[in-house]
């Protein structure tokens, strides 16, 4: 029997998957991916993500404003996010965060947006889903400051940052999520950061349609490929795939209680 595993972060509402959702969910199921969280990165697309979660038993959803979009519209209100959280399959806040690689000029707007999402996570008790790129120092500082002001939980999704941000996140109880990048042959340094983290704080994800793991690198990613990433990352802790699938599924249940089995 194929061990059950969770894709903690995918983007099924993206046009890359239009007209193929039945087949994508079926392939995921066949690969042992029994649950997946589709992440809405702009609120005008929230109804699409909600409809997917309502259509498929395996699909849950989260919503927020991606940091690269934080400057495009007026800041979202905390109340707008908490209202969405009432849906039974709405399981997380975000993704939100900081991205100074592509949008450094909007750093101030990104930080304001991040703090709003943090407050929504506090009020709802739902985990915060963090995107961080080329912003490690500010991200570590804001998460630490905000946690001291009032606790919240979350995950550093598609973790590719340095050891300092990993430690800052782990110190406040966050989880690290491994994407297909962690399975790339040259990602040795990244796997070493994961190896320094406790395995009970690890999730796996696809970030589909992006970042497909080998042997599909460079092609469209999809939730079924969670198993390929997990098989490679399990080696970091010397675990079998079965043991790692069980562990990361239990981790997911702990962080995302609304989606727990």
Higher pLDDT, 73 or 253: 253
- How many alpha carbons fall within 13 Å on the CB side of residue 154? 34
Which token pair is 25? 């969910």
**Residue 169 is part of a domain; what is its CATH number?**
3.20.20.140
Give pLDDT tens digits for 113-166.
999 999 999 999 999 999 999 999 999 999 999 999 999 999 999 999 999 999
User: Across the chain, what does the average pLDDT equal?
Assistant: 97
> How many domains is the chain built from?
1
Give yes or no for a contact between 207 and 179, defined as CB atoms under 8 angstroms apart: yes
* Domain housing 25: 5-259
94, 97, 101, 107: CA torsion to nearest 10: 130
Question: Could you tell me which of 59, 69, 73 has the C-alpha nearest to residue 7?
Answer: 59
> Is 142:115 a contact under the CB 8 Å cutoff?
yes
With b meaning 16 or more CB within 10 Å and e meaning fewer, what string describes 133-162?
bebbebbbebbeebbeeeebbbbbbbbbbe
pLDDT tens profile 76-127: 999 999 999 999 999 999 999 999 999 999 999 999 999 999 999 999 999 9
Record the pTM. 0.96
Return the beta strands (E) in the chain as ranges.
5-10, 33-40, 59-63, 90-99, 128-133, 154-156, 175-178, 202-204
């Amino acid at each position: 029997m194929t061990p059950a595993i969770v894709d903690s972060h995918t983007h099924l509402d993206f046009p890359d998957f239009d007209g193929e959702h039945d087949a994508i969910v079926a392939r995921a199921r066949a690969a042992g991916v029994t649950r997946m969280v589709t992440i809405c990165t702009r609120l005008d697309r929230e109804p699409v993500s909600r409809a997917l979660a309502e259509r498929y038993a395996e699909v849950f959803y989260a919503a927020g404003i991606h940091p690269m979009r934080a400057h495009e519209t007026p800041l979202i209100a905390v109340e707008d996010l908490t209202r969405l959280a009432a849906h039974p399959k709405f399981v997380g806040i975000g993704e939100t965060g900081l991205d100074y690689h592509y949008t450094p000029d909007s750093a101030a707007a990104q930080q304001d947006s991040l703090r709003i999402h943090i407050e929504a996570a506090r009020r709802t008790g739902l985990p915060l889903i963090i995107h961080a790129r080329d912003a490690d120092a500010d991200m570590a500082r804001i998460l630490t400051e905000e946690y001291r002001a009032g606790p919240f939980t979350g995950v550093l999704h598609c973790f590719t940052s340095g050891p300092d941000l990993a430690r800052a996140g782990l110190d406040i109880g966050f989880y690290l999520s491994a994407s297909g990048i962690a399975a790339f042959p040259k990602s040795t340094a990244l796997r070493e950061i994961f190896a320094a983290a406790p395995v009970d704080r690890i999730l796996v994800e696809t970030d589909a349609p992006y970042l497909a793991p080998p042997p599909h690198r460079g092609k469209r990613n999809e939730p079924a490929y969670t198993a390929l990433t997990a098989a490679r990352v399990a080696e970091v802790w010397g675990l079998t795939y079965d043991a790692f699938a069980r562990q990361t599924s239990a981790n997911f249940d702990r962080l995302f209680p609304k989606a727990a089995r």
